[in-house]
Structure 1
Amino acid sequence: MAANRWLKPEVYPLFASVGVAVGICGMQLVRNITTNPEVRVTKQNRTAGILENFAEGEKYSQHSLRKYVRGKQPQIMPSVNNFFSDPSN
């Protein structure tokens, strides 16, 4: 009865968007646990205290996606924006 109520074709986009959001949250959680220099999971690493490892922090914060978008314009459709905003066109 409940499956017939929730498994209609109209709610598939809702399930997809929630699934993508949960996937992004899970990916970020795994990324933080495995590569964040400030997160120490094992007991041996926790006893080390505060580490002054700037190279590892720089590597974590300047990941490949950030490097890719660094020189890009913050526009979704730059050709359309330029067409409507540039008076010479």
Structure 2
Amino acid sequence: MARWVKPEVYPLMAAMTFVASMCVFQLTRNVFMNPDVRVNKEHRQKAVLENAEEGEKYAEHGLRKFLRTRPPEVMPAINSFFSSTDSK
């Protein structure tokens, strides 16, 4: 195998592996945690699920709660450096 895999392909393989792992992570997260996915028979028999609190817990996860308290800037230090009006 090492004979036909060239070193120039390694960055592409790394990027594709990362993207594929992110896809697998998201699909797995949706299957196991999404309140709209019905895996067991008990939930599949109901036409409408009464699970508003489970949906709220799914939608308001920890990362979203953390980012809500942060300023909506990508690089706040650079933004404040260029936008400050301190004259020295």
Q: What TM-score, normalized to structure 1?
A: 0.82
Q: Which runs of 5+ in 1 are unaligned?
A: none
The aligned amino acid for 1:16 is A
Return the alpha-carbon distance in structure 1 between the equivalents of residues 12 and 73 of structure 2.
27
Deviation at 1:3, TM superposition (A): 5.1
| Residues 1-89 of structure 1 mapped to structure 2, 5 A cutoff | 4=4, 7-88=5-86
Equivalenced residues, count: 87
Moved more, 50-59 or 40-49: 40-49
Structure 2, gaps ≥5 residues long: none
Query: Percent identical across equivalent pairs?
Result: 48
Structure 1 position 10, deviation (Å)? 2.3
Shift, 1:79, TM fit: 0.6
For residue 2 of structure 1, report the CA deviation from its aligned partner: 9.1
- C-alpha offsets along residues 15-54 of structure 1, whole Å, 9 cap, x if unaligned? 1111111111111111111111110012332002211221
CA distance in 2, matches of 1:27, 1:71: 26
Scaled by the length of structure 2, what TM-score is found?
A: 0.82
CA shift, 1:73, in A, is 2.0
Q: Residue type of the partner of 1:17?
A: A
Distance 2:44 2:26 in 1: 21
